[in-house]
Structure 1
Amino acid sequence: MDIKIGIQNVGRELTVNADLTAEEVEAKVTEALSSGTPLVLKDSKGTTTVIPSEKIGYVETGTETKRHVGFTPLPQS
Structure 2
Amino acid sequence: MQVRIGVRNVPRELVVDTAQSADDVQHALADALAAERGVFVLQDRRAGRIVIPAAQVGYLEITEDEQRNVGFGTQYT
TM-score under structure 2 normalisation?
A: 0.82
CA distance in 2, matches of 1:44, 1:21: 12
> How far apart are the structure 1 equivalents of 2:54 and 2:22?
18
Distance in structure 1 (CA, Å) of the matches to 2:44 and 2:4: 12
Matched pairs, number: 76
Long gaps (5+) in structure 2:
none
Q: Secondary structure at the match of 1:28?
A: helix
Paired position in structure 1 for 2:59: 58
Decide which moves more: 36-45 or 59-68: 59-68
Q: Are the counterparts in 2 of residues 32 and 53 from structure 1 also a CA contact under 8 Å? A: yes
TM-score (norm 1): 0.82
Is there any run of 5+ residues in structure 1 with no aligned partner, and where?
Answer: none
Percent identical across equivalent pairs?
30
The alignment's C-alpha RMSD in Å is: 1.8
